Amino acid sequence: MPRRPVTLFTGQWADLPLEELAPLAKEMGYDGLELACWGDHFDVRRALSEDGYVESRREILERNGLECHAIGNHLVGQAVCDPIDARHEATLPAHVWGDGEAEGVQRRAAEEMKDTARAARRLGVGVVTGFTGSSVWHKLYFFPPTSQEEVEAGYEDFARRWNPILDVFDEEGVRFAFEVHPTEIAYDLYSAERALEAVGRREAFGFNFDPSHLYWQFVDPVRFIDRFADRIYHVHMKDAVRTLDGQSGILSSHLPFGDHRRGWDFRSLGHGGVDFEEIIRALNRIGYGGPLSVEWEDSGMDRVHGARESAAFVRRLDFEPSGVAFDAAFGEE
């Protein structure tokens, strides 16, 4: 297995133009970028309508010695299944938000995700990472009492809205790597299984594995890899820490990221509790050869320092599986 490329997800860097971020990413030690479909990094509509736009993105990457293996459209994907409210206006393109009428927003978001598959194909990448949203996340606690019929209706709503999107992914030869995450239709191992079943386990739908979201829920990320070995289409490298101290709670008390009173938070790679060596061993076990994409989030650390350190961390940690049993030389000649 060749060395996996180390890439940087640009979503947390969208305040920087791609012309500025690309040389910085190379200087920090990255092989490529996972381009976010916000900021000026990758514009889905321009990719499909403007001659030379896709070539301009490629030229910036190539000039800086960078590759692109995936694009991410999490913010628009979130609006496909979510109950729409005023918060979504801040994260959606104006043409998707429109007049803010909920069903119209969801419908336009679905069309934008179809176009994202088409734009990915035009760029020459085979994976789109993102979110799905969920019509039932807010019913998580089961009070007021929530029936399984209501929950099932949420998965049916997900399938109804996403199967036509996945049809376009199939047509374009692109896969959707869904990031299992709180607020989504799947947020842990069992809900991920249920989401897969809802869309008939079709190949267009798999996972963008991110251990941080599993770790703080006390779900073993390695068990997720083993369970969905054929569905790990992309990997985010992100760390988290649990800081439960008898006063804090795992639901984080409505405290913002970075508040030391939270029961958990994101950390720069190597500064949290995720066992990345076991993750690399599990990825080797399933034969995953795609990028290891750093999604850098740490409210307490300078991001350039953290991202540079994270690139070195991943490069140092990643290793190829053994091609021979270590005790093979013990045998008779």
Q: Model confidence over 185-241: pLDDT tens digits? A: 999 999 999 999 999 999 999 999 999 999 999 999 999 999 999 999 999 999 999
- Bond into 5 cis (ω within 30): no
- For residue 239, give both structure tokens: 């760390």
**What are the b/e assignments for 193-216, b being 16+ CB within 10 Å?**
ebbbebbeeeebbbbbbbbbbbbb
Check residue 327 and give its pLDDT: 65
- The residues, any chain, with a CB within 8 Å of residue 121's CB and separated by 6 or more, are 172, 173, 174
Q: Model confidence over 293-315: pLDDT tens digits? A: 999 999 999 999 999 999 999 99
- For residue 180, give both structure tokens: 């299992």
- DSSP-assigned letters across all residues of 86-111: GGGGGTS-HHHHTT--HHHHHHHHHH
Phi, psi dihedral angles at 294 (to 5 degrees): -75, 120
The amino acid sitting at 151 is V
Task: For the beta carbon of residue 47, count every other beta carbon within 10 angstroms.
Answer: 21
- For residue 26, give both structure tokens: 């190379």
DSSP alpha helices (H): ranges in the chain?
18-28, 44-49, 53-63, 74-81, 94-97, 102-123, 148-172, 189-198, 211-215, 221-227, 276-286, 303-317
Task: Characterise 324 by phi-psi region: left (phi > 0), alpha (psi -120 to 50), beta (else).
Answer: beta
Q: Model confidence over 122-171: pLDDT tens digits? A: 999 999 999 999 999 999 999 999 999 999 999 999 999 999 999 999 99
